[in-house]
Amino acid sequence: MDKDFFSKMELVYIAFDELSFIRHGQKNDNEVKGSFIIETSVSEDEKLYKVTVKAKALKESEYDLLVTISGIFTFADDVTDDAKDELLNKNAVAILMPYVRSEIAILTAQPDTDSITLPIFDITKMMGDD
């Protein structure tokens, strides 16, 4: 395969940092309210880049849900800082989102709970780069 198609970013490690489903009551018709928080950080040696996605959902009087996942990434030596920012804020988040989507579906597939299946997100728009 032509190596020109390979990304200059490499996923080193991925793991869930926190998974939480706290039931507060029985199934109800309240609206599910959710949010996403995206955080990036760089290791002291500037070789490892951490991207964390937190997804929160609240269904009043029924449950609170939290899914936090982090991925550690490295880059080829010839990648500029601007390119790294773009790859971390779009590609890394896009890599992590299917795991978030799957875990939310699993956590909400409980007795007496309506399972949540998140749609596929346009990460470019989600990150505010229309």
- pLDDT tens digit sequence for 49-74: 999 999 999 999 999 999 999 999 99
Go through the domains of the chain in sequence order and give each one's CATH number.
3-121 (3.10.420.10)
CA dist., res. 93 & res. 86, Å (int): 10
Phi, psi torsion values for 8, nearest 5 degrees:
-85, 0
Residue 129 has pLDDT above 70, yes or no: no
pLDDT bracket for residue 33 (50, 70, 90): very high
The pTM (predicted TM-score) of the whole model is: 0.87
CA dist., res. 38 & res. 99, Å (int): 14
Would the CA dihedral through 110, 111, 113, 119 be positive or negative? positive
Look at residue 123 in the predicted model and tell me its pLDDT: 73
Question: Are 50 and 40 contacting, i.e. CB atoms less than 8 angstroms apart?
Answer: yes
Tokens representing 96 are 């992590």
